[in-house]
Amino acid sequence: MSDPTRMTAAALADALASGDLSSEQITRAHLDRIEGVDEQVGAYLHVAGESALAEARAVDERRAKGESLHRLAGVPIAVKDVMTTTGIPTTAGSKILEGWIPPYDATVVSRLKAAGLPILGKTNMDEFAMGSSTEHSAYGLTRNPWDLERIPGGSGGGSSAVVASWQAPLATGTDTGGSIRQPAAVTGSVGVKPTYGGVSRYGLIAMASSLDQAGPCARTVLDTALLHEVMAGHDPLDSTSIDQPVPDVVGAAQRADVAGMKVGIVRELTGEGFSPLVQARFDESVQHLVDAGAEVVEVSMPNVVHALGAYYLIMPSEASSNLARFDAMRYGLRVGPEGVDAPSAEQVMAASRDAGFGDEVKRRIILGTYALSSGYYDAYYGSAQKVRRLIADDFARAFETADVLVSPTAPTTAFRFGEKSDDPMAMYRGDIATIPANLAGVPGMSLPSGLAEDGLPAGFQVLAPAMADDRLYTVGAALEQRLVSAWGGHLLEQAPELAITKGA
């Protein structure tokens, strides 16, 4: 039997069903891997070894008794630290929630537990999901397993890094402007942002409520579909949850047939502004889809050029409102102002928020509060919402022509730490291709398109109409099959293992 940490989730599920492996063996192997490499990668904030092994043993006992179990029961998973978990700290990567242990599980976490997936731990992230590099975590950097001097994407760099460094076969993420898809692109993994409302947001620590969406991260399209199926579905605890059946994402991934499908290349999301290295891998991937029987058409979405501006008004506005709850009165960090013997509630609140929030969070709160202030609301936030409507209309027209839309996921491969720290706008532009899907609420996937000439992974993005998430998996699986055949194996098998063991 192969090393369990190098097996896909689907293969692990088959090994569990056949009795070739136990969940305890699989979980222990991943915990050993975490102990061996995560000090260098920095992908986990909290490792829940004892509870993960306890759940694994419980699943093994239920299987031995002949109980009916979910296909993924016993396959371990990592959870982004923005999802509440009973018994395991939840910090959202921020000092203001340091040590907080929630009294309830997020709905996604409840569904993972009900399906019998042992939770290995919580993954690192940019503070309150604000960032594209996981450089803005209050607890240190997460490093890209392909090159420890480069970013793993963000805000969900921890989740992408655990998958790419073989520390978990599956992970959960959240995507507000690309925080699942962009990390997948730069680490050579697969990530999906489902249709807005397709996966419950109950128990997610909110940044921008009209944009945030939980989704799956894995190494293959089928594994991602299997996790998507567990996570998705209507939740009465979430007022934005869609009360419709979950699309057959697993069946779509298994069919992988794009014959006759129309694939639309978005003119505004290719070419200028995208690295030639990334563009070359994208063009090759499009040709693979053509060879598989798809028809390629070009579509124009003229308003997506305004997506970045609209997003960076809507998102900080909603973030400033959501983060107002961290007031030092109810939970979280509480410090008093220096030199004040009997501080007022306002003074404690100001001192606590100053000490607990990082620079990027403060920047976005200030920007959002200004955009919502009297006299500016209509000019900024209101206008941005009108642009959002225009972008949604662009998508609607494009999907009249094409079944799915495609683009590179990110304009470049992973950049070095600190490279964009002094230029926030350069960092923000890294999400230029992913943000439109969040503004319109449509689903999106990123999967590897190959290695650019710098030896780092590039990502291929697929977008589909709302509640047509299954189309992502049809196209993604068809492309993955051809690429893996061309590469002679999964892209991550080409990753330089020495990058995560040097100095060990």
Positions marked active-site: 80, 155, 179
Structure tokens at 294: 């798809």
Residues 6+ positions from 349 with CB-CB distance below 8 Å: 327, 328, 329
DSSP 456-502: -EEEEEEE--TT-HHHHHHHHHHHHHHHHHHHTS-GGGGS-GGGGTT
Question: Which residue is it, tokens 């993604």?
Answer: 476
Write the single-letter amino acid at 387. V
Tell me the CA distances in angstroms from 89 to 111, 115, 325, one per residue in order.
19, 22, 18
Task: Give the burial string for 451-478 (b: 16+ CB within 10 Å, else e).
Answer: bbeeebbbbbbbbbbbbbbbbbbbbbbb
Long-range CB pairs of 50-55, under 8 A, 24+ apart, other chains included = 51/87, 51/88, 51/118, 51/119, 52/27, 52/76, 52/118, 52/119, 52/120, 52/121, 53/24, 53/27, 53/28, 53/118, 55/23, 55/27, 55/113, 55/116, 55/117, 55/118, 55/119
Q: How far apart are CA 260 and CA 494, in angstroms?
A: 33
Is residue 390 within 8 Å of residue 309, measured between CB atoms?
A: no
Q: CB count, 10 Å around CB of 62? A: 16
CA 375 to chain centre: 36
Q: What are phi and psi of 446, to 5 degrees?
A: -120, 135
Ramachandran assignment for 104, one of left (phi > 0), alpha (psi -120 to 50 degrees), beta (any other): beta
Torsion 173-176-178-183 (CA) sign: negative
CA 71 to chain centre: 23
Question: In 175-280, where do the E strands start and end?
Answer: 190-193, 214-218, 262-266
Name the residue among 366, 348, 346, 344 with its Cα closest to residue 356: 348
Q: How far apart are CA 268 and CA 340, in angstroms?
A: 55
Is residue 263 within 8 Å of residue 273, measured between CB atoms?
A: no
